[in-house]
Chain A
Amino acid sequence: MREALHAEWTKLRTVAGTGWLLVAVIVLTGALSAAAVAGCAAGCSDPARTSLTGVDFGQAVVAILAVLAISGEYSVGMMRVTLTAMPRRLTVLAAKATVVSGLVVLAGAVAVLVSIVAGRLLLPGLSLTDGAMLRAAGGSVLYLVLIGLLSLGVATAVRDSATAVGVVLGLLYLFPVLATAIGDPLWHRHFQQIGPMTAGLAIQATVHLDALPISPWAGIGVLAAWAVGALLTGGLVLRLRDA
């Protein structure tokens, strides 16, 4: 496993796009968060949550990063070399998952830090040490990591990078949009409870927790289930199908 990790780390580290994508996670997350919180001067229902809005944007870049970690290999035929060198395919996937998670934790933590510092500068009333705020900030990093794992799993199953990114962003963004079409309140609630983004982002809420469709940690649990499901599917496909 150590060699596998080292190999994956070397690959991801030396691919031209990785550094830029990590920078993009930080910049885009911070920029959207700052822009959103700047509008809060007129009043926001949950300023802490608004100061983390950029995660909605940053997750798309995390998805690209995670998808390219495996689709990039398929597109140039590198995958066959990788699997020849390391025939234990699930180990390869586990190593990729570990390396991607590590990178996303780093970039995500910086991005969230930038967001809340920007929020604090623009909105002096924002408390940074409040328990709910810490949960929202730490949870946002965890959220991004789980999005990375979900994307990696989907990309392993789908292989093509464009399709994988489309599927992941569809899974994320479609649930909140489609929920608006559902008239029945109970169904509406259930629909938001199963969506990876609608459930996962409950972790960012700091006020009116009882009005959320799902409690913060249960929501992260739903997203984790999506990520595990995607990774299992990806792992199964990886084992069974020719590279």
Chain B
Amino acid sequence: MMFWQLLHAEWTKFRTVRGWVIGMLAAVLVTVLVGLLGPTSSSFSCAGPSGQACTLADHTPPLGPDGEAVSDGFYFVRQPLTGDGSITARLTSLTGTVQPWSKVGVIIKASTRQGSAYAAVVGTGSHGVRMQYDYTHDTAGDPAARWFRLTRSGDTVTGYDSVDGTHWHQISSATPAGLPATVQAGLLATSPEFTVASQSLGRTNGSGGPTLATGTFDNVALTGSGGTWIGGNVAGQGPGGGPGSGFRQSGGTFTVSGSGDIAPAVPAKGGLDKTIENGLIGVFAGLIAVIIVATMFITTEYRRGLIRTTLAASPRRGGVLAAKAVVVGVVTFVAGLVAAAIAVPLVEHLEHGKGFYVYTVTPLTELRVVLGTAALLAVAAVLALAVGTVLRRGAGAVAAVIVAIVLPYVLTIAPVLPPAAAEWLARLTPAAAFAIQQSVPQYVQVTASYTPANGYFPLAPWAGFAVLCGYTVVALGVAMLVLRRRDA
């Protein structure tokens, strides 16, 4: 038989067994319905300072130049800078309730609006000297340097550091998005909230409070400077400025104190922060339905003896397995795509309606999450088919595949395993594939609880997905071998 005839035969088998079609439809249905569990069981309530209910706008973080949610709160001592120029300062001390990512240094920023483009060279609590721009970009400088300089030339801002103020070393150069002709240049001080995270049964409870960093500078020089320095908090709602922030100038010495953070905003699962993959929690339920159907697609043939007819009709056994894999893979991909494409926008809409902020991501990321979820289900179905071919028994095969994909995830989010072990599970087992659903990346420059339970996976999205594909390829290879060698 030609391959397309095999495909046709397998497709006919699939669509005419009522239980399998119902199973696949059930997979779509439970994926969407279980996804509703999140928004329906969460409620959002908070009160403003004068007791009024707060709105979505009150807790929507500002958006950075690339459209991502950011934190932008700091104390800014500034002067306007028109055209090209540079700002230089020497940091003499960093004091206060210093956090690892407390930042004090020099900054050039498009405006004082939160979320506007910037470039900065800062000294940090325990990460040395960094050049950062537009929230997500971070380059390490010389940890011993105390002299910082930013130079604007056209659209490019270049950061330098120096140990002695004479020998300068370029850290990096950046093109912050859309710098106007006149920018604000000056000194900054900021310090993120400290958090103590405790984990219990897949939920992280954070507690913490604001901190304050104070930077003392001298040798402050701004090109074309003649005006006076203005101090002020860049802050909307949320942390920024805070009590104790301010600046003092005496002679050439500037003391700047501030609180907040200039960094990408990082969501924490289970809290008020929602990400688009929250809507895809039902995929775990859909996955189990898919695994059952895909396994039975082959084990039922063995149980009923139909496999002997199938193999008599098409003696090229590898072709039969390939056709089955294509049919079950494509059907599952389509079902998964429909489910994910309904669940993600639906849950997002419901969460917006309840007053939650859902982290905005680029359309490309959203597409990756939805397509990746469909692909994850499809590859899991092929894995189940392969394991079913090897084991021939439905019960054993279904249990093996569920244990391989779902159990490691359960273990990584449970509080029983030490964190290092949980991380290895999320790297090595097929459960690594759930990384494809992670929509907000992990940032080194933000301290947070980056655990699978919080939605952060140790592997990059496609790398995690590749792990599942690797297991599936091996299982298919073994299935091919076993199918050829063994009597049906």
Residues of A whose CB lies within 8 Å of any CB of B are: 17, 35-36, 39-40, 42-46, 49-50, 53, 56-57, 60-61, 63-64, 67-68, 71, 75, 160-166, 169-170, 173-174, 176-184, 187-188, 191-192, 198, 211, 213
Residues of B within 8 A of A211 (CB): 200
A68 to B396, CA, bound (A): 9
Of A46, A67, A162, chain B has the most CB atoms within 10 Å of the CB of A162
- Chain B residues near A170: list those with CB within 8 A: 285, 288, 402
Contact B416 A36 (CB under 8 A): yes
Between B395, B396, B414, the greatest number of chain A beta carbons within 10 A of the residue's beta carbon is seen for: B395
Residue of B nearest to A208 (CB): B200
- A162 with B284, Cβ < 8 A, contacts A169-B406, A180-B203, A183-B271 known: no
Name the distance in Å between A30's Cβ and chain B's nearest Cβ: 16
Question: Given A42-B420, A182-B42, are A177 and B394 also a contact pair (CB < 8 Å)?
Answer: no
Q: Could you say which residues of chain B place their CB within 8 Å of the CB of A61?
A: 399
By beta carbon, the residue of chain B nearest A168 is B399
Complex Cα–Cα for A61 and B295 (A): 17
CB distance from B19 to the nearest CB of A (A): 8
Query: Which residues of the partner chain A approach B414 to less than 8 Å between Cβ atoms?
Result: 56, 176
- The 8 Å CB contact of B417, one of A36, A71, A178, A182, is A36
Whether A174 and B203, one on each chain, are in contact in the complex, defined by CB atoms closer than 8 angstroms, is no
**B25 touches A (CB below 8 Å):** no
Contact B421 A39 (CB under 8 A): yes
Which residues, 172 to 187 on B, are CB-close (under 8 Å) to A? none
Task: Point out the residues of chain A lying under 8 angstroms from B415, CB to CB.
Answer: 45-46
Contact with A along B272-315 (1 / 0, CB 8 A): 10000010010011001101100110010001000000000000
Given contact pairs A177-B281, A198-B201, A161 touches B394 in the complex (Cβ within 8 A): yes
B: interface residue count bin: 35 or more
Q: Which residues of B contact A169 (CB under 8 A)?
A: 288, 398-399, 402-403, 406
Q: Which residue of A lies closest to B273 (CB)?
A: A183
Residue B453 lies at the interface, judged by CB distance under 8 Å to chain A: yes
Q: B291, A39: Cβ atoms under 8 Å? A: no
Given A181-B37, A183-B270, 4 other A-B contacts at CB below 8 A? A36-B411, A160-B394, A177-B281, A183-B41
Beyond A45-B415, A50-B418, A56-B411, whether A173 also contacts B406 by CB under 8 A is yes
Alpha-carbon separation in the docked complex, A53 to B270 (Å): 24
Counting CB contacts under 8 A, is B202 at the interface? yes
Instruction: Give, as a whole number of angstroms, the nearest-CB distance from B322 to chain A.
Output: 22
A178 to B42, CA, bound (A): 13
Other-chain residue from B394, B399, B418 in contact with A43 (beta carbon distance below 8 A): B418
Evaluate contact between A177 and B284: CB separation under 8 angstroms: yes
Is the CB–CB distance between B288 and A166 below 8 Å? Answer: yes
Give 9 pairs: A residue, B residue, CB < 8 Å, sorted on A: A56-B407, A64-B399, A173-B402, A177-B406, A179-B202, A180-B270, A181-B37, A184-B41, A188-B41
Q: Is the CB of A49 within 8 A of B420?
A: no
> In chain B, residues 389-442, which have Cβ atoms closer than 8 Å to a Cβ of chain A?
393-399, 402-403, 406-407, 409-411, 413-418, 420-421
Query: Is B223 positioned at the interface, with any CB of A under 8 Å from its CB?
Result: no
In Å, the complex CA distance between A57 and B403 comes to: 7
Task: For B409, list chain A residues within 8 Å (CB).
Answer: 177
What 4 pairs between A and B have smallest CB-CB spacing? A162-B394, A183-B42, A39-B421, A161-B395
Contact with A180, one of B43, B202, B303, B402 (Cβ below 8 angstroms): B202
CA distance A163 to B303 in the complex (A): 14
A187 to B41 alpha-carbon distance, docked (Å): 7
Partner of A53, one of B271, B292, B411: B411
Contacts of B78 in A (CB 8 A): none
Residues of A with C-beta under 8 A to B407: 56-57, 60, 173
Contact B270 A162 (CB under 8 A): no
A181 touches B38 (CB 8 A): yes
Residues of B351-400 contacting chain A, CB below 8 A: 393-399
CB distance from A201 to the nearest CB of B (A): 9
Expressed in whole angstroms, the minimum distance between the Cβ of A207 and any Cβ of chain B is 11
Q: Is B269 located at the chain interface by the 8 A CB criterion?
A: yes
How far does the alpha carbon of A32 sit from the alpha carbon of B417 in the complex, in Å? 11
| B34 located at the interface, meaning its Cβ lies under 8 Å from any Cβ of chain A in the complex | yes
Asked if residues B292 and A50 are in contact (CB atoms below 8 Å), the reply is no
* Closest B residue, CB atoms, query A28: B403
By a CB distance below 8 angstroms, the chain A residues around B453 are: 180
With a cutoff of 8 Å between Cβ atoms, the chain B residues found around residue A213 in the complex are 201
Give bound CA distance, A44 to B413, whole Å: 14
Cα-based distance from A46 to B413 in the complex (angstroms): 15
**Known contacts A56-B411, A64-B395, A71-B395: A163-B420 contact under CB 8 Å:** no
From A50, A174, A177, give the contact of B413 (CB < 8 A). A177
Chain B contacts for A67, CB-based, 8 A? 395
Closest partner residue, chain A, to B403 (CB atom): A60
Residues in A with CB closer than 8 Å to B291 are 166
Q: In the complex the two chains form, is B269's CB within 8 Å of A178's CB?
A: no
Which chain A residues lie closer than 8 Å to B299 at the CB level?
Answer: 162
- Mark each residue of chain B from 9 to 40: 1 if its CB lies under 8 Å from any CB of chain A, else 0: 00000000000000000000000001001100
Least Cβ–Cβ distance between A178 and chain B, in angstroms: 6
Contacts of B413 in A (CB 8 A): 176-177, 180
Query: Using Cβ atoms and an 8 Å threshold, which residues of chain B touch A174?
Result: 34, 284-285, 288
- Cβ contact of B41, chosen from A63, A164, A182, cutoff 8 A: A182
Q: What's the Cα separation between A60 and B407 when bound, in Å?
A: 10
A162 to B300, CA, bound (A): 10
Are B403's CB and A162's CB within 8 A?
no
B398 touches A165 (CB 8 A): yes
Contact yes or no, A173 B399, CB < 8 A:
no
**A60 CA / B38 CA spacing, docked (Å):** 27
